[in-house]
Structure 1
Amino acid sequence: MVTSRSTVERQRLALLALLTAIAPLASAAPIQDTPMTGGDGSVSQFDHNAYSLPLGNLPMTERLDFSVGNSFFRNPWVVAPASTDARDGLGPLINTNSCQGCHIKDGRGHPPAEGEPPVSLFLRLSIPAGDDDRELVERTGAVPVANYGRQLQTAAIPGASPEGDMVLDHREREVALAGGESVTLREPRYRIDNPAYGELPDDLLISPRVAPPMIGLGLLEAVPASTLLAAADPDDDDGDGISGRANRVWDVRQDKTVPGRFGWKAGEPSIEQQSLHAFAGDMGLTSSLTPATDCMPAQGCEDYPSGGAPEVSDKIANFITFYAGSLAVPERRNMDDPGVIAGANTFAAIGCAACHTPRLETAADAAREELAGQTIWPYSDLLLHDMGAALADGRPEYQASGSEWRTPPLWGIGLAQSVNPLAGFLHDGRARTLQEAILWHGGEADASQAQFRQLAPKQRQSLLDFLNSL
């Protein structure tokens, strides 16, 4: 198809008008001026191990704890009873047998190829909440499915039956870009075959989740809750079309509701709770924080040997939490490249920085000295935003709606496929490239996505070069 000169000119003028309208936003967004994306703990590692280093400012006295935590994160857990009784008790219903099985080299997971079993993507499950479920949702986030719980376990230890098979296929659609280019997007479609514990309900809600990267979690935990709440604008009082809000989730340790900040819908308040819920849901392992797994009474999990009570001791849980909070963020690269500089300005100009907040500060009195008082560049406000119908999963979690997602941090994203060549982007890994990920944005990001499509090819490439420099 040939685009007329008059059409191109109208597109150019429309884009100019849009950029002019949001110029105040662009000037307000800080442009990163240091390669130290993760503050003083940033590291200069850019290969397949880029996400696996300890904080650069981690004291030598704590590096042994990091290594011990790494061993429990990386190595497989086994079925009880076993001679390796420090890491037995796996299952009986599981998605994987190690943390590294999902967070590949501490990075992103990926969806399975069509016809293959999932490796690092699983399905959250629930049913719609009724009036009598208010307290349950306040404390757990969602109503479990009878005989299946809140997560589909697609594997099991010998003698037990997996809950079912997750089946994935795609349909494709084309998106046109200015300059005559087009991009093919793959829309994933999920279903559950061979349910082993009874029929699944007609009102079943599912949400696919791919494992997110682990870098910088300790720094994000050290950002004060007051910072998140100050950035929230749930009613869009400033009229900019962006209405980020904090999820409100149950903190088991504090025994109260607090702002969430981890997980695809900001459904977890802390690294510890996120980690130990994953042990319970993904590997069927109990801890003092999560004494029950996702196994439902009718599934008979108590008939299988236990690895102890709890199976993940407090000592091991502390090592793993420390490890997860100590993974460093890689430094920025190519910051002096003219295309990268232009891309950073375009990122701000078309409104991406309204949600992907470039700069945050950690608390001066953070619990760990190496995390305290750091200027960091995560490119996230850690808030929920409505991303539109195309990305909606239809499954609420705590106060997050079926179309809301937490803004994922972008730091280190240019190295994602160096760490895991199969890594995908967005909550279910559907986007094979960063450009595809941008084109899936809708809802509050619809205007920015439309502007991206209208950029000249060179401008689009500069923006992508900027993202790849992070």
Structure 2
Amino acid sequence: MPRILPIPPIHPRALSGPYPGPRPKALALPIALTLTLAVPAPLAARDLPPDWAALTDAHLDIVPRTDAERTRIAAVTAPPTDFSAPWPYEDKPGGAQTVRARPTADAFSQPAANLTFAQELEFKMGNGLFTRDWVSAPASTLASDGLGPLYNARGCQACHIKDGRGHPPAGPDDTALSMFLRISIPAPAPDPADLAAIRTYIAGTHPTAPDPVYGGQLQDFALPGLPAEYRLDVSYTEFAVPLSGGEVAMLRRPTYTAADLGFGPLAPGAMLSPRVAPQMIGMGLLEAIPTADILALADPDDADGDGISGSPQIVWSRAHDRPMLGRFGLKAGTPSVLEQSADAFAGDIGISNPLHPDGWGDCSPAQTACRTARHGGDPEQAGFEIDQTALDLVTFYSRTLAVPARRDIADPQVLRGREVFHSTGCAACHRANFVTHRLTGDNPASFQLIWPYTDLLLHDMGPDLADNRPEGRANGQEWRTAPLWGIGLTQTVSGEATFLHDGRARTLLEAVLWHGGEAQASRDRVITLPPADRAALLRFLESL
């Protein structure tokens, strides 16, 4: 039988011990809530695969949890049973990092609310680098040169519009500035004689390799004297999906074409995957969720028979030289915010850095003019186009972009929609909340109760959403569960509301209706809901 535990007043920064600072007004709220608590088996008691058991968060400076803390955390993150009123602190999805929700395009661009004065300065310096437009080398501004030679954008914010989502081209006259195609080809497993490759090979990975000419992603811009690699063409075919109550939703099925190839045909068997730039908020909090808590949710063989079989992505960390849990990217192909930032600098902008030292970015050996072009590495920056200090500032900025507060959480329609979200099974993958590691020092992600609505696991989303391109342990139908916090502010921030990995969905309802695979049953329940409940579900999502 599940245990019944009362939930005492709890603040994200005070799961045990006093809250270090003025107590927020939220602590005055009465919490007379009793939840049915189903505590998962401790990881040590489970038959974990050896490669899971070896995954740790040793790269973080962690203060181990006490037994009392673990009990309180299990209680506060247990699945709820009472949907009649707002839950304690769900209005603060980023815990103590949460900021007021602004009704402007700057809603995702605010620093975390709990930064120290010195950290705010780091945030602002990182913001300056994030919004910088890079130029070609040589240039009088040595700290800003090194663009390309092939690239998708001149700066980070060109893709992550106001730190929010990108979007596919709106028409034939629009560019694909915040969207590109990843590319790879099938490859054999590493040769046992190649010791370096064997050392970094993760068992269970689908072996792939970059296109021998076009590399790992297609760049649609180039410096003068070089052709761009391609132009992205997107076309759509619309079709109707009947809903209960006589309603009809129109979905659009995309077709992607790599047109005007600048370096000849793609390799035989080339696999393309469209990617829209994701929003940036809350990344440091996602990074601070204990690996053990994520693995506790994984059920790759669907042992409990609920139709949900989330699997962890496991990738090789360049920064820490070992396997780590993948958390970032649409298929969770990157383990840390630092590596996500370094990969984007190299692949999207062509900026060398300590993790990707080549000045030519994603140019392949076959692109000789690109490889021999002038690059911007300078002795003052240790030979890189962005050095470790500047990369760390961008990483800190990316880690500490605040999550806006929830809106209208006590609205009866929002409360009903939250109940529908759980009753239709959406919360099986979009897990509501976690508590982050307790970290040493003034780390602003330390010991926060957060509400990201994701499990950070890979799930089969069915053939309709498949890109048919594996990445690491993810096959061509698997995607990481996307965090939902802030999703209701997409239009406000980015100027357009498009969703899913390729922006095909123009509304949240369309995004739900594209779900298949493990989410097919939940999607079908949404179709048959009474129209009022379906509207409530969407209203709840808009409040996130």
Structure 2 counterpart of 1:81, from 125, 138, 142: 138
Q: Deviations over 1:241-296 (max 9, x none)?
A: 00001101110122111110000000000000001100111011110111132110
Matches of residues 326-405 of structure 1 in structure 2 within 5 Å?
326-365=400-439, 368-405=442-479
Query: CA separation in 2, counterparts of 1:138 and 1:425?
Result: 33
Distance 2:252 2:310 in 1: 27
1:38 and 2:94 matched: yes
1:306 alignment partner in structure 2: 375
Q: Do the aligned residues in 2 keep the contact of 1:138 with 1:398 (CA within 8 Å)? A: no
1:151 matches 2:217: yes
Match of 1:49 among 92, 106, 118: 106
**2:375 aligned partner, one-letter code:** S
CA RMSD in angstroms, aligned pairs only: 1.7
Partner secondary structure for residue 280 of structure 1 = helix
Corresponding position of 1:109: 166
CA distance change for structure 1 residues 367 and 177 in 2, over 3 Å: closer, same or farther?
farther
Confirm or deny that 1:128 pairs with 2:183. Answer: no
Q: In structure 2, do the counterparts of structure 1 residues 124 and 53 end up closer, same or farther at CA, with 3 Å as the change threshold?
A: same
State the secondary structure of the residue aligned to 1:356. Answer: coil
Q: Is 1:467 aligned to residue 535 of structure 2?
A: no
**Matched residue of 2:264: which SS?**
coil
| 2:287 matched residue in structure 1 | 221
Q: Percent identity?
A: 49
Paired letter, 2:538: L
Counterpart position of 1:256: 322
The Cα shift of 1:119 comes to 1.4
| Deviation, structure 1 residue 202 | 3.2
Q: Is the 8 A contact 2:297 2:455 kept in 1?
A: yes
Q: Distance in 1 between the 2:501 and 2:92 partners?
A: 27
Write the deviation string for residues 108-136 of structure 1: whole angstroms up to 9, x where unpaired.
00000232331100000001122447948
In the alignment, the residues of structure 1 paired with residue 258 and residue 168 of structure 2 have an alpha-carbon distance, to the nearest angstrom, of: 15
- Pick from 201, 212, 215: which aligns with 1:138? 201
| Aligned residue type for 2:184 | S
Q: Which amino acid in 2 is paired with 1:211?
A: A
Match of 1:202 among 268, 276, 285: 268
Contact 2:271/2:468 (8 A) holds in 1: yes
Query: Contact 2:101 / 2:406 at 8 angstroms: preserved in 1?
Result: no
Question: What is the CA–CA distance in structure 2 between the aligned matches of 1:288 and 1:79, rounded to whole Å?
Answer: 19
Q: Deviations over 1:43-101 (max 9, x none)?
A: 00322111000000011121111011001101201111111111110000000000000
1:7-22 equivalent positions in 2, closer than 5 A: none
Letter in 2 for 1:304: A
Distance in 1, Cα, partners of 2:150 & 2:210: 16
The alpha carbon displacement at 1:399 in A equals 0.5
Determine helix, strand or coil for the equivalent of 2:274. strand
- CA deviation vs aligned residue, 1:167-200 (integer Å, no higher than 9, x gap): 1101111101000011110111001112111221
Paired residue for 1:20?
Answer: none
2:365 to 285, 293, 297: 297
Q: Is the 8 A contact 1:215 1:329 kept in 2?
A: yes
Query: Deviation at 1:336?
Result: 0.8
What is the CA–CA distance in structure 2 between the aligned matches of 1:330 and 1:33, rounded to whole Å? 17
Q: Where in structure 1 are there 5+ consecutive unaligned residues? A: 1-23
Aligned to 2:349: 283
What's the CA shift string for 1:397-434, capped at 9, x where partnerless? Answer: 00000000000000011001100122410000110000
Q: Secondary structure at the match of 2:123?
A: helix
Q: Which moved more, 1:281-290 or 1:190-199?
A: 190-199
Deviation at 1:142, TM superposition (A): 3.5
2:124 aligns with 67
- Establish whether residue 456 from structure 1 lines up as the match of residue 456 from structure 2: no
| Counterpart for residue 9 of structure 1 | none
Q: TM-score, normalised by structure 1?
A: 0.92
**SS of residue in 2 equivalent to 1:65:** helix
Deviation at 1:367, TM superposition (A): 6.7
Q: Distance in 2 between matches of 1:187 and 1:456?
A: 26
Contact 1:29 1:358 in 2 (8 A): no
Determine the structure 2 residue equivalent to 1:164: 230
Checking the alignment, whether the CA contact within 8 Å between 1:109 and 1:423 is kept in structure 2 is no
Amino acid at match of 2:88: D
Q: Which moved more, 1:107-116 or 1:335-344?
A: 107-116
Change (3 A) 1:367 1:290: farther
Higher relative contact order at CA 8 Å, sep ≥6: structure 1 or structure 2?
1
What are structure 2's unaligned runs of at least 5 residues? 1-37, 39-77, 378-382
Q: Distance in 1 between matches of 2:168 and 2:95?
A: 32
Q: 1:133 touches 1:143 (CA, 8 Å); kept in 2?
A: no
What is the CA–CA distance in structure 1 between the aligned matches of 2:430 and 2:278, rounded to whole Å? 16
| Paired position in structure 2 for 1:265 | 331
Deviations 1:340-360 (A, max 9, x none): 000000000000000000011
